[in-house]
């Protein structure tokens, strides 16, 4: 067993985000694992660029209200308690 030290927050890179977005790493698997668990905080009006995840992504909203969309799909409002799964390769946007 290992108690992991708290890591400092990291600002999301400008090529992936518009506005201020910050990551707090909760856990990151070692090879060959691709598992990552992050807390991600979006400032008002911040958003991601259109992107996809090769193995999909699951989001769980803990605070605030946001919008998500698959390219060409409807815009969906998300709220605390919502869990969203995006399948592998699906292009999506979060704001």
CATH code, domain with 48: 2.60.120.10
Report yes or no on 2 lying in a domain. no
Q: How far apart are CA 50 and CA 33, in angstroms?
A: 25
> What pTM, to 2 d.p., does this model score?
0.83
Answer yes or no: is pLDDT of 95 > 90: no
Domain hosting 45: range is 10-94
Report yes or no on 38 lying in a domain. yes
Number of separate domains in the chain: 1
In tens, the pLDDT along 54-63 reads 889 999 999 9
Q: Which tokens go with 18? A: 């518009």
CA-angle at 94, arms to 92 and 61, nearest 5°: 120
Report yes or no on 4 lying in a domain. no
């Amino acid at each position: 067993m290992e108690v992991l030290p708290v890591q400092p927050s990291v600002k999301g890179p400008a090529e992936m985000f518009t506005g201020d977005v910050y990551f707090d790493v909760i856990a990151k698997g070692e090879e060959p694992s691709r598992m990552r668990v992050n807390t991600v905080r979006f400032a008002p009006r911040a958003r991601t660029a259109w992107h996809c995840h090769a193995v999909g992504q699951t989001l769980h909203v803990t605070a605030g209200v946001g919008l998500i969309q698959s390219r060409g799909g409807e815009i969906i409002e998300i709220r605390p308690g919502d869990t969203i799964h995006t399948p592998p390769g699906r292009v999506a946007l979060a704001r």
